[in-house]
Structure 1
């Protein structure tokens, strides 16, 4: 038998535990060209909130009554597939199940000796790819420019800031606690950090931290924080829009400053993206990230929650900012 977590109902606003359902199911034996997987680590990510709503997006929504899926690292416990053997660790988008059968499609064997298996859900997985490709392909950082990162202590933001420093930028991070502010400066090497929860005038705080203006704004949060950063954007500034976690649970359309005049006045570029837009660049990006990690140029932080049953709560905790770096559940 294996536990599975289903979407019981679509959340109204912020998700709650009753939106999820636990069930036990029988585990089939793997057939020809199939393998049996035991889940080891589960990634919980803000974008999953969008898939819980029945709305048009870049990926289809989850169906009510079906298992939720996300990035998972699993161990191969039995294999009838020529590309995988017992004992392999693999990563891929899989169901929230303790044990499951797979046909191997979309799975990648990872080198658990090169890095912790959980790193392949973070800095050497979708997180690292999103940070690297969003910044380099849209932000196009140049030495001496100023980069501002919102959600800077999160999984993507903390990597974006470090890459910005490697590429010669002045980096300013925005986060929501003094502990996170210290983390940004002491561990990740940000030049400046702003606690938005204790700052009364964000627009002025950004101006003070970036007196020459903002050349690149890597936007993970949207909302009022982004309004304040855009008020400081420079001519020919670039704004990669990775996420808008401050808005995901809103039940009404948010109103705020219209950005068109700011973009026109500054000839600025604002572009939303998803990491799969740059799929052809994944091998090059992973190679670069792995090299930087081995050279000690990149650090990463994980918030590890123990236990399969804790996956829904860990996901909900993302919206309270309870994670430092990547939020992962160890099963």
Structure 2
């Protein structure tokens, strides 16, 4: 028997960010709309959540296009969705009480009516709520699974991470060191981000604006080359990595942010043929295919966070109305670590 714990002060409406039009190339403010919509009545098995933080992520750019993909496109004139963490303020579900902190997928809005089965408790005794959208959430699992399950990192190997100061990349480098990588190299887009990577324990880091990528990577890798490339950027970064990879090297293809706003087809790496002679493995992956490793990941990451092996950065923007700008800034590389919007 479910228990109705609603109070008479519950909100009847919620502000939300809608997709007003589909971007062509880089998104612009006019592609988004701040609106207010009525909240549906709470049903048995559901909870009403006041969102505390919402996540803006690069993959969302693809969902703004009306094309068939692994995830349905955002509908026009409707609230977008994405990762969020918030407080349960009303519950008609067993196992979810008022005051619980939960993670769910109805972001881009202030309040959400969610099926309790589609929520996950956030262990705020382990870390702040925001961490469950980052280091202890989908972002962290992406880094963990991509490096260890897709690229199958082995102790003593050399790892190169592109977009290394971002939410996923910064965790990949630290996990690699924790798992015995002999050398971890990262690329980033500013001197400040390069310095931050070195603070996080990367053995080498370079600013990809400072010169040809292939030359900078070759200098950082030395004669040994790299064994694993964790790709968040695609394009020129992938081409440089193909040249630096050793025989039997592996590429975990996580993202290609350099191409997300492209309005014309982007060229393939000119040296792709090296994958044949070097017997390389290039494997694309989606984190949704690796949820079975979540418990293993949370146990490992909780320990690393507790003992200081891993730390994480957040770039926090306040106010739902500023979520579109936060997203656009993310695509421009303005974030260090996880980009979040605090409500």
Aligned match of 1:182 in 195, 203, 220? 195
Aligned match of 2:25 in 13, 21, 37? 13
1:201-228 deviation digits (Å, cap 9, x = unpaired): 2211111111111110000000112211
1:274-313 equivalences under 5 Å are 274-313=286-325
1:209 alignment counterpart: 220
1:110 alignment counterpart: 122
1:266-324 deviation digits (Å, cap 9, x = unpaired): 00100000011112111111111111111211100000111111111100001111100
Aligned match of 1:223 in 224, 231, 235? 235
Q: What TM-score comes out, normalization by structure 2 length?
A: 0.93
1:85-112 deviation digits (Å, cap 9, x = unpaired): 0000100111422112122232011121
1:131-172 deviation digits (Å, cap 9, x = unpaired): 000000122122221100000000000000001111121000
Distance in 1 between residues matched to 2:70 and 2:212, nearest whole Å: 34
2:3 alignment counterpart: none
What 5-or-longer segments of structure 2 have no aligned partner? 1-12
How much has 1:60 moved relative to structure 2? 1.1
Q: CA RMSD in A?
A: 1.2
1:16-44 deviation digits (Å, cap 9, x = unpaired): 11111111123344232222111100000
1:21-76 deviation digits (Å, cap 9, x = unpaired): 11112334423222211110000000000111111211111111121111000110
The 1:259–1:281 alpha-carbon spacing in structure 2 relative to 1, beyond 3 Å, is farther
Contact 1:139–1:240 (CA<8 Å) still a contact in 2? Answer: yes
Q: What TM-score comes out, normalization by structure 1 length?
A: 0.97
Contact 2:82–2:105 (CA<8 Å) still a contact in 1? Answer: yes
The number of residues matched between the two structures is 329
Distance in 1 between residues matched to 2:68 and 2:37, nearest whole Å: 31
How much has 1:328 moved relative to structure 2? 0.4
SS class of match (2:331) = helix
Aligned match of 2:109 in 80, 97, 100? 97
Distance in 1 between residues matched to 2:40 and 2:218, nearest whole Å: 59
Contact 1:29–1:36 (CA<8 Å) still a contact in 2? Answer: no
2:266 alignment counterpart: 254
1:151 alignment counterpart: 163
